[in-house]
Structure 1
Amino acid sequence: MTAITPLPCQRHLFEIPDDVSYLDAAAWSPLPLVVREAGEAGLLVKSRPWTHPREAVPAQAERARTAAARLVGAATDDMAIVGSVSHAMATAAANLTVAPGGRVLRVADEFPSLRYAFDRLAAARGLIVEEVARPGDDDWTAALLAAIERPGAPPLAIATLTPSHWTDGGLIDLDRLAPAVHAAGAALVIDATQAAGAVPVDVGRWRPDFLAFPTYKWTLGPYALAFLYAAPHRQDGAPIEENNGNRPPASGARRYDRGELNDPVLLPMAATGLELVLSFEASAVAARLRHLTDRLEDGVAGLGLAAAPRHLRVPGVLGLRAPGGLSSGLLDRLREHGVYASERSGGLRLSPHVWADEGDIDRCIAALHRVL
């Protein structure tokens, strides 16, 4: 197999100072300069509406919708524009018909936006919520496959999955899991928040009923905007909010579009960020992220920090745990050295993206050696 050449560092597209190592893409990304400029131009539309006809704004919605569809391998008509992933998941849950007694399957310590709507659905429809515990060997995929295929278990109704665990980047291999979910006759709902823009995402390969992702993390866009893919057989449902734009004759996934859709600021920002990400080859992005997180892991060897084996974690996130937990104030001490990261579920989460270079990684390694 031919090795994939990693994407070169794209720091020149951002305004990140040389002495800042921002390794927190899994929380939210800085805006590329062109995305910020798109937002500033959008602000002028709202500031001076007499000079910018509103009729021009809907084209920005379709531009963003088209780019989002390309990113996940979908048709444009299969994408809805929503306000958040929680909005998307509430829409998905409201449009799944399930029989009582079935299981809703997910991993333990799942992100709230993928839990709450399905907890409500389970309570209303008499479903059993099954959370797969964190495996001692870090192999989420094997643990989930065992749960799906467990003899004597109640029938699987819905699997709500992500391509990785949000806390530490533990791999949840949907290439193996999606066929097992389909074979069980269950619905598949995917939260691609920590995947879209960081690794290749393909709805044609996974065949989800619904898939969602926001724009403020790996796709380099604004807050308060997200996209929902709805499979063609899931496009005749009811939106969770009714507005002029998503009522008939609206067709396809547009049936689930949010209200106040035509935002002159967020839409061009999202479209610009998505188009920038699309200008990179997805596998090359993943190869760059793997190079950076592997360098991080090598550099902290001997500090008593444990990470999942490389083949069991995604390229862009390195989760580090200490036997007795992280020391108090660790994030603050890292910031004093110009390193920005997150703590999630008791672990240090480091998540570089296309702006990060080897200097950022080495600064983080040096800071961890000093503060630990």
Structure 2
Amino acid sequence: MAPSGRGLPSRRGSLSRRGVLAAGVLPAGAAVGAAGLPRAGTPPDGPVGFAVEGTYLDAAFTHPVGDFAADAAARYVEARRRDPQAVGPRANPRRGAVERFARLINAAPADVAVVPSTLVGENMLAASLGLGPDAGVVTDAFHYDGSLALYGELARRGAPLTVVAPRAGRIDLADIRAAIAPKTRLIAVSLVSGVTGFTHDLAELCALAHARGVLVYADIIQAAGAMPVDVQASGVDFAACGTYKWLMGDFGAAFLYVRPDRLDRLARVEVGWRQVVRQASHVLPFEPPGPALGAYELAGGAAGLFEVSTPAWGALAVAQASLDHILAVGVADIAAHRRPLIDRLQAELPSRGFRPLTPAGAPGPVVAFAARDAAARYGERLRRRDVRVSVYEHRIRISPSVYNTQDDIDRLLVALAD
């Protein structure tokens, strides 16, 4: 099989685990084919891009940090070590990280705010929209479990809530349409479910919702960086994504996208220095007279509403580097590399007694299977073989990424058969 894309070496029909995402940088002596990639069967001798140990097929839990991101983190810490004020309100990686994320999802940087995590962003959005007794939510059972708890608590306080159940492993748009009620203000979903890998048709969902005057929020943490996401083409109103999964970054930072023509529907619910554009004091010597409160002005836009206080500058430095890497390689090529790995799992595991939970052909990076007593039966086997996937009581979730090869799938299948 030909290499799957620029910067993606090929071996057994997939990337060389040790040469993944080299972005054109190869160890001396590596055999190079016509496309500037290692020839099949001749992977680089040393790790390039990622140094993850064992067989790691759990990027949906947290993605390994690449060498490019580790280097950025080291530079950030060294700068802070040498100069405590090297990073601050006027010199920081926030703008660079936001610009790159905006490019990844086809948004304007002005429409992206930095928040501490995906779920913090969703909580802030719920408060900003005034969800409550007169403003309800429709969601589905494949949404993030923390989000379901959020809406469950809002329902206890009187917010109308409908949770759509799956049918045949899918969330049917007809069921979402039927769940919309006069008081429904928001439909909240995970674009790619972290539970099963089911993927919504976001454009169709938004068209359905908007025709009824309802807004749409998408958690895109299991999608952005792993598959193409275009917020403008989909029409989605709000979306959030942490940096530690498919953005290949670290914990502590996330991005919240707000469609600009929806800003007038949002209320400011938290206030902090990140929102203050000018402020004047009237209580110290030589200051002009005025009220003790002083005078201040708050910013508008996505950042003006949702950025409150000091973000994790270090996580944003890492995200800037990892997003550079993803953009250079190309999300389409990343997805194309992963496809044969997931296809093989979907082809082989059912004959071994694993019940598929992910619809065939789902474009996301997650594939899941039901297996009775999965944790008890397979947890120790996988640990002995140093193979890491997400194992739950009656389910396993596998999420290969750019550093994985068919050899890793071989090792997983052997571990499950032990």
Class of the TM-score when normalised by the shorter of the 2 chains = 0.7 to 0.9
> Once the two structures are aligned, what percentage of the paired residues are identical?
28
Out of 301, 307, 310, the position equivalent to 1:260 is 310
Q: Secondary structure of the equivalent of 1:302?
A: helix
Rounded to whole Å, the distance in 2 between the matches of 1:113 and 1:160 is: 12
- What is the one-letter code of the residue matched to 1:134? P
Asked if 1:15 corresponds to 2:51, the answer is yes
Q: Secondary structure of the equivalent of 1:13?
A: coil
Asked if 1:131 corresponds to 2:181, the answer is no
Rounded to whole Å, the distance in 2 between the matches of 1:217 and 1:151 is: 31
Match of 2:400 in 1: 352
Superposition map of 1:24-173 within 5 A: 24-49=58-83, 52=86, 54=88, 57-58=91-92, 60-97=93-130, 100=133, 103-108=136-141, 110-124=143-157, 126-135=158-167, 137-140=168-171, 142=172, 145-150=173-178, 154=182, 156-173=184-201
Q: Secondary structure of the equivalent of 2:353?
A: coil
- C-alpha displacement of 1:284: 2.1
How many equivalent pairs are there?
358
Rounded to whole Å, the distance in 1 between the matches of 2:299 and 2:180 is: 43
CA gap of 1:96–1:344, structure 2 versus 1, over 3 A, is farther
Contact 1:319 1:348 in 2 (8 A): yes
Deviations 1:210-242 (A, max 9, x none): 110000000100101100001113436445432
CA gap of 1:100–1:51, structure 2 versus 1, over 3 A, is closer
Deviations 1:116-141 (A, max 9, x none): 443444455x4321111132x1122x
- C-alpha displacement of 1:87: 1.3
Out of 235, 239, 242, the position equivalent to 1:214 is 242
Q: Secondary structure of the equivalent of 2:216?
A: strand
CA gap of 1:55–1:224, structure 2 versus 1, over 3 A, is closer
Contact 1:85 1:113 in 2 (8 A): no
Give the TM-score of the pair, scaled to structure 1: 0.87
Q: Which runs of 4+ in 1 moved over 6 A?
A: none
Match of 1:231 in 2: 259
Deviations 1:256-281 (A, max 9, x none): 114113x4422210111111111122
Asked if 1:290 corresponds to 2:345, the answer is no
Match of 1:275 in 2: 324
Contact 1:300 1:368 in 2 (8 A): no
CA gap of 1:53–1:127, structure 2 versus 1, over 3 A, is closer
Q: List gaps (5 residues or longer) in structure 2.
A: 9-14, 22-47, 277-296
Contact 1:84 1:224 in 2 (8 A): yes
Rounded to whole Å, the distance in 1 between the matches of 2:393 and 2:129 is: 31
Rounded to whole Å, the distance in 1 between the matches of 2:76 and 2:179 is: 56
Q: Secondary structure of the equivalent of 2:374?
A: coil
Q: Secondary structure of the equivalent of 1:300?
A: helix
- What is the one-letter code of the residue matched to 2:161? V
CA gap of 1:75–1:329, structure 2 versus 1, over 3 A, is same
Contact 2:222 2:364 in 1 (8 A): no
Rounded to whole Å, the distance in 2 between the matches of 1:53 and 1:107 is: 41
Asked if 1:191 corresponds to 2:219, the answer is yes
- C-alpha displacement of 1:184: 1.6
Rounded to whole Å, the distance in 2 between the matches of 1:151 and 1:81 is: 32
Give the TM-score of the pair, scaled to structure 2: 0.78
- What is the one-letter code of the residue matched to 1:133? A
Q: CA RMSD in A?
A: 2.6
Contact 2:196 2:358 in 1 (8 A): no
Rounded to whole Å, the distance in 1 between the matches of 2:352 and 2:376 is: 16
Out of 184, 207, 222, the position equivalent to 1:179 is 207
Deviations 1:169-190 (A, max 9, x none): 1222223222111112111111
Rounded to whole Å, the distance in 2 between the matches of 1:357 and 1:146 is: 38
Contact 2:197 2:362 in 1 (8 A): yes
Match of 2:370 in 1: 321
The one of the two structures with greater contact order (alpha-carbon pairs below 8 A, sep at least 6) is 1
CA gap of 1:268–1:318, structure 2 versus 1, over 3 A, is same
Deviations 1:335-368 (A, max 9, x none): 2112101024631000011111121111111211
CA gap of 1:287–1:100, structure 2 versus 1, over 3 A, is same
Rounded to whole Å, the distance in 1 between the matches of 2:246 and 2:366 is: 11
Asked if 1:243 corresponds to 2:243, the answer is no
- What is the one-letter code of the residue matched to 2:221? T
- C-alpha displacement of 1:319: 0.3
